[in-house]
Amino acid sequence: MVCFCGVLLFAVSMIVSLSADDVKVGANKALSAEEILEQVRLTLKEPRKDLPVITYLRRSVITELDAEGKHQKVTQKTHRAYSDERDQLLLEVDGRPATQKEIDKDRAHNLDRQQQFLHRQADKDSDHNEDLMVKNMDLFRKKFSVLLDGEERIQERECYVLRFIPDPEFSLDNRFVDRLMNAVRPKVWVDKKAFRIVRIETKLVESVSFLGGLAGVLRDIEINVDQTEHLPDVWVDDTVSAFFDVRVFFKTYRFRLKSKSSKFEPLSQDAATAQ
């Protein structure tokens, strides 16, 4: 099962990386899709060092489904999350405190997904994820073309709407990730003033097989993420929904994930130092 942290980092890092070479934008000039995305990339690549860190609770519900879409099992998890690049911490499972074994397993699972998709260093002693979105900004740089699909008001913010089209002639080093990128159609809403991502919608439009289908097939993915500015220049995810349908050898995994963040508060200086 794909962890929430891996899903979010993968989706956002993929999208913010799809920019052309550095573009200088004039104040009164209508922006192209490439220029808009370049501003997003620069905003994330050069974050302010004096920003406060927000800590909050991320509550997620994972619903496993059978072949007919009926509920088989529901798991609820609560994580302590942060607005900077440090790892989230599992606090509760199904309303009870998480055991140390569950905490270690959750962190190892997150680390594995970040290594697989985001090139994280295999340093299990570190509690930070090395700013993986920034680290991966150039990974998919030439894989997609970006189109400006108008403007729309989202969450009381005026946004550019961008659509991404993969180039099947350009191949990434990771063959599975390359085929996955060929099969997705991301759509992104970018705040016109802050150049931050307000909403992401990603849909798999065709299945992706493992080892010619012998090892399995990724049949469907849908990922939707909404992000909000809770303090000036401090953005965090508010809601996430995802659906996965994958066969691994002879077993099918179908599940929905819904996540809602709450109880946002500045991280105290003592807590930040302790981290």
| Model pLDDT for residues 197-217, shown as the tens digit of each residue | 999 999 999 998 877 767 788
Residue-number span of the structural domain to which 16 is assigned: 4-274
Cβ neighbours for 140, distance < 8 A, ≥ 6 positions apart: 14, 17, 18, 172, 181
Q: Percent of the chain at pLDDT above 90? A: 42
Q: How far is CA 183 from CA 53, 243, 273, in A?
A: 36, 15, 43
Mean pLDDT of 66-87: 87
Mean pLDDT of 94-104: 96
Partners of residue 224 on adjacent β-strands: 201, 241
pLDDT (0 to 100) of residue 215 = 77
The Cα 110–Cα 174 span in angstroms is: 19
Q: What mean pLDDT, rounded, does the chain reach?
A: 79
pLDDT confidence tier of residue 147, bands split at 50, 70 and 90: very high
Q: Which of 67-71, 111-115, 131-135, 145-149 tops mean pLDDT?
A: 145-149
Mean pLDDT of 214-234: 89
Total domains in the chain come to: 1
Q: Taking Cα atoms as reference points, which of 78, 227, 49 lies closest to residue 155?
A: 227
User: Are residues 51 and 93 in contact, defined by beta-carbon separation less than 8 angstroms?
Assistant: no
pLDDT confidence tier of residue 222, bands split at 50, 70 and 90: very high
Is the pLDDT confidence value at 66 over 80? yes
Look up the pTM and report it.
Answer: 0.78
pLDDT confidence tier of residue 159, bands split at 50, 70 and 90: very high
